[in-house]
Structure 1
Amino acid sequence: MEKVKIGKSELEVSRICFGGNVFGWTLDEQQSFKILDAFVAAGFNFIDTADTYAWWVNGTGGQSETIIGKWMKARGNRDKLVIATKVGSETREHPFDISKKHILKSVDESLQRLQTDYIDLYFTHFDDNKTPVEETLSAYNEIVRAGKVRYVAASNVSPERLVESFDVARENGFPEYVALQPHYNLVEREGYETKYAPLVKKYGLGVMPYWSLAAGFLTGKYHSEADLGKSVRGQGVRKYLNEKGLAVVEALEKVAEKYKCQPATIALAWLLTKPFIVAPIVSATRISQLEAMIEAPKIGLDEDDLALLDRVSY
């Protein structure tokens, strides 16, 4: 199984990252263990979660980290995995918060739920846009020096605050972000490619796109509003049921037929051709969905495939 380094870090990961937002939501503990077992059995080692997953179920979250922690303890495989989690998200009980006080409290809670001594990659999940960058990075400096976190990264941070974070880190000797987790896929290109891709190149960031399959739209199971009831996330793809979105799905199905695979596999393979993309983040609730994910790194899209997908997705 091919593995690549995340940005300027020493973390080596597989080319697909499993998104843990489904744990404790659409998958219970037993089902989560089954999916995780299959994922690592296929040679993958990269798992992403957040301290607040799945807050929409209980208002606070913590279920995903708890399930992953129990699974790692049961399997004794912590040293073979790269675990990413996040801090700063909003829940029903607290707003976005990346203050030093919140980070220092949250990291210990995440470590306890994950039943581990360290987190490989710790993300600013959402920027509260009020905490001084220096305060946030000083907290990261403290937990990295304490060995609680190996590397820090950014997700929903504006380009301006991202640049400021690098300036402040270099001025103060604080840890620099090594990765970015943006919203990026075949039907959501402009934001990342115009605002973030230049910064990714400038700072050498490893990129792990979230919503890599556009909330399931790029799996090809949604062709009309009548299909929206096929999933609990169906209403979230209604906005893609337009001329452009349907053209993208049609192109994915055409290329997938050529390679005898699923449209989702092609959507992920397309992402993997882009510079600095380390591993798209994807969730699965069934083994059949997982199989579509893990086939993506094996697909070598040719120039005609890429030209078609680029044309319909711009």
Structure 2
Amino acid sequence: MKSIKLGNTSLETAPIVFGGNVFGWTLDEKKSFKILDELLEKGFTTIDTADVYSRWAPGNNGGESEKIIGKWMKDRGVRDKINLATKVGSSMQQGGDKDISRKHIIKASEDSLKRLQTDYIDLYYTHWDDDKTPVEETLSTYQKLIDAGKVRYIGASNLSPERLQASLDAAKKENLPKYEVFQPEYSLMARRKFEENIREICDKNHLSVLSYFSLASGFLTGKYQKIEDVEGSSREMFLKDYFNEGGKRVLDAIWEVSNEHMVSEAAVSLAWIMQRPGITAPIASATKISHLKSFFEAIDIDLTTEQMKRLNEASAWREDLL
């Protein structure tokens, strides 16, 4: 399995990054360990998490995903084999304020390191912008963490085009750490924001792009066909807006292409992202070891120009996205 370099870093990833949001949410510790063991064995060594994962699960307070990953790495003695990415900026409180100030980042990074049971984070993301902290303050704080050996490289997620560009400009002008990776929401159900406003900035500044919600919280696996399938479940808040004519059009196109290749719908959805311009790799999760089959299917298949066109047309909300 080929490795892909992330930005101007020494980090490399498999063509698919594993999303750790499921740990402590839809997977308990025992099942999480089994998935992590299988991932490592199969060569998927880049794990993406955040300090607030998985706070939305009943009884959770945030940090559960980091705790499980940290316990697993220590138990297995595999920290040096894992490219570990986590994030800062969200509140541990539902509906709480975003915060990327120096004070918050310093405190949150120490908390993450403790939960992860490690001395350093390979890739540390600005998770959400607070739209008020000067970008120089955020980047200089990361410089402090890098100088202390607690962070190796930095990335950003969910920043507006304006704040992302301002951060890149400040890094160059003030000789501060530069974001090397950008993480946007991007899938067959969510294209416009990245393609219209962010992709060009990432291309011009040589940022790797790792897409999150690549399977639209499971919608693009074809598992959920109607709103009743998710009502009352932990996924309802993420999927409720997809059950419409646009969603059906996308699912029908995926189903057709998956049958032509004799692979899963999830594989087609991931392969489409992997073949889109400006994308380095998708982030995807799995709750069963059997689900990982779709990762290998996605890596192995090559969607034709005609198949990509069909998927593009089914998912485009604007003509200029084709």
TM > 0.5? yes
* Partner AA of 1:92 in structure 2: Q
Distance 2:237 2:97 in 1: 25
Distance 2:297 2:120 in 1: 30
* Partner AA of 1:302 in structure 2: T
CA offset digits 1:62-115 (Å, max 9, x no partner) = 111111011111111111111100001123275211010111111111111111
1:113-262 → structure 2 map (5 Å cutoff): 113-229=115-231, 232-262=234-264
CA contact under 8 A between 1:205 and 1:276: conserved in structure 2? no
1:256-271 → structure 2 map (5 Å cutoff): 256-271=258-273
Match of 2:320 in 1: none
Task: Give the C-alpha shift of residue 3 in structure 1.
Answer: 0.6
Q: 1:72 aligned to 2:73?
A: yes
CA offset digits 1:154-195 (Å, max 9, x no partner) = 001111011110111111111000011101101111111001
Moved more, 88-97 or 11-20: 88-97
* Partner AA of 1:155 in structure 2: S
Distance 2:168 2:228 in 1: 47
Task: Give the C-alpha shift of residue 231 in structure 1.
Answer: 5.0
Tell me the number of residue pairs that the alignment of Structure 1 and Structure 2 aligns: 314
Task: Give the C-alpha shift of residue 252 in structure 1.
Answer: 0.6
CA contact under 8 A between 1:209 and 1:279: conserved in structure 2? yes
SS of 2:170 mapped into structure 1? helix
Task: Give the C-alpha shift of residue 235 in structure 1.
Answer: 4.7
Distance 1:290 1:32 in 2: 13
Match of 2:82 in 1: 81
Match of 1:5 in 2: 5
Match of 1:22 in 2: 22
Match of 1:105 in 2: 107
* Partner AA of 1:16 in structure 2: I
CA offset digits 1:7-53 (Å, max 9, x no partner) = 22221111111111111111111110001111121111110000111
The runs of 5 or more residues in structure 1 that have no matched partner are none
SS of 1:89 mapped into structure 2? coil
* Partner AA of 1:61 in structure 2: G
CA offset digits 1:206-261 (Å, max 9, x no partner) = 11111101111101122223323495314532212222211111111111111111
In structure 2, relative to structure 1, the CA distance for the partners of 1:59 and 1:133 (3 Å cut) is farther
TM-score normalised according to structure 1 size: 0.96
* Partner AA of 2:282 in structure 1: P
* Partner AA of 1:5 in structure 2: K
TM-score normalised according to structure 2 size: 0.94
Moved more, 182-191 or 55-64: 55-64
Task: Give the C-alpha shift of residue 294 in structure 1.
Answer: 3.6
Q: CA RMSD in A?
A: 1.5
Distance 2:272 2:54 in 1: 29
Distance 1:246 1:299 in 2: 23
Task: Give the C-alpha shift of residue 59 in structure 1.
Answer: 5.7
* Partner AA of 1:17 in structure 2: V
The runs of 5 or more residues in structure 2 that have no matched partner are 317-322
CA contact under 8 A between 1:16 and 1:294: conserved in structure 2? no
* Partner AA of 2:49 in structure 1: T
* Partner AA of 1:63 in structure 2: E
SS of 2:127 mapped into structure 1? strand
